[in-house]
Amino acid sequence: MADQSIPKARTPATAPAQTEAAPADEGISRRRLLGTAGATGLVLGTAGAAVGYAAAPTEAAAPLTSLGADRAMFHGKHQPGITDGLQARGHLVAFDLAAGGGRREAAALLRRWSETARRLMAGEPSAHDDTDVARDAGPSSLTITFGFGHSFFGRTGLEKQRPTALDPLPEFSSDHLDRKRSNGDLWVQIGANDALVAFHALRAIQKDAGSAARVRWQMNGFNRSPGATAHSMTARNLMGQIDGTRNPKPSEPDFDQRIFVPETGEPAWMANGSYAVVRRIRMLLDDWEKLSVKAQEDVIGRRKSDGAALSGGTETTPMDLEKTDAKGNLVVPINAHARITRPDQNGGAAMLRRPFSFHDGIDPDGVPDAGLLFVCWQADPLRGFVPVQRKLDRGDALSQFIRHESSGLFAVPGGAAEGEYVGQKLLEG
């Protein structure tokens, strides 16, 4: 849970080309339009609210009831679901190719999946046997993202095309990994601002897999609903902490360099792609909630109320790592999570975090099975995730309140051009 934030969303006037609003008559029912007229007092900047992060007060307002019209584009330089804002609902699912399946079967599957993703993200039904779960909704900012695991390349005879950046992650002392809920040949990330739209996409992807691949593991997550706060702000996690203040932003000159594989990078099929580290992190909430607010803030290094560093200022004020109190003690403890994860304390290592919270019920002993579905993006995990996690392993105060229970690393190729499917350059190259 690194101390970084996803870039704030932009209004449709300034949003990147891969995001657009669906036409007014597409996906918004008469009933929903009537509801919009009575929605005074529930208006926020739609794009900014969808992210849940700090947004400029001048952003155009839009009623909550119009959020279903927001649409992300399937085709583009990068796959959707990486730089898009946080969505209210998410599903992560990994598949293993069926025994005997190979490159040809994988190509046919990715072709089916890509067409389904394109249709659903446009607010259209899937091509075959649509379940009608999302019939009354618009696109609702749906994104579907596809990636390849380390084992995929051996299964398809493409070992020579496997990136060195996809080498298995090292073991960390805080790991308590369930191998059955880790890794996988293929990985799919689904996110939307409507739970039924997200489930509809999950079901369609699973049905499309048919006999070509079977589900290895699947996890469900959520974030705060768009419009739930009086203004756009950085999200909070299940510990109640503002989580994600220092994420790299697209406006930074080296953003693409740190998050995406360059067009001239190796292997060539990964141009404009990225690498996703996926971790299921259980939060030991009963232990955490026994701490005083002051103790919790010392663990994180930031105020719980507004996310400001303990050294003072606002959420975005740079942290003063040398500031001391009247007794000469560091105001931001030496083992505070926010101190350890700062990029300038890790040789500039950076990753774009885009997580979901999860709650999978309550154990028989009354302990909630809840935490963070950690998803981070980087051009090279050996220079992004790994050095930061190694440092956290050596003394992060937060470590005693969390447990890493599953892990995966996936190569996510660049976006598909019109008429192409995701991974086509790998599978047909």
3-state secondary structure labels for all residues of the chain? CCCCCCCCCCCCCCCCCCEEECCCCCCCCHHHHHHHHCCCCCEECHHHHHHCCCCCCCCCCEEHHHHHHEEECCCCCCCCCCCCCCCCEEEEEEEEECCCCCHHHHHHHHHHHHHHHHHHHCCCCCCCCCCCCCCCCCCCCCEEEEEEEHHHHHHCCCHHHCCHHHCCCCCCCCECCCHHHCCCCEEEEEEECCHHHHHHHHHHHHHHHCCCEEEEEEEEEECCCCCCCCCCCCCECCCCCECCCCCCCCCCCCHHHHHCCCCCCCCHHHCCCEEEEEEEEEECHHHHHCCCHHHHHHHHCECCCCCCECCCCCCCCCCCCCCECCCCCECCCCCCHHHHCCHHHCCCCCCEECCEEEEEEECCCCCEEEEEEEEEEECCCCCCHHHHHHHHHCCCHHHHHEEEEEEEEEEECCCCCCCCCCCHHHHCC
Query: Which residue in 130, 194, 243, 256 is the catalytic one?
Result: 243
Strands 70-72 and 62-63: unpaired
Q: Is residue 350 within 8 Å of 258, Cβ to Cβ? A: yes
Q: Is the dihedral of CA 19, 21, 27, 28 positive or negative?
A: positive
In the residue annotation, 298 being an active-site residue is answered as: no
Which residue numbers are catalytic? 243
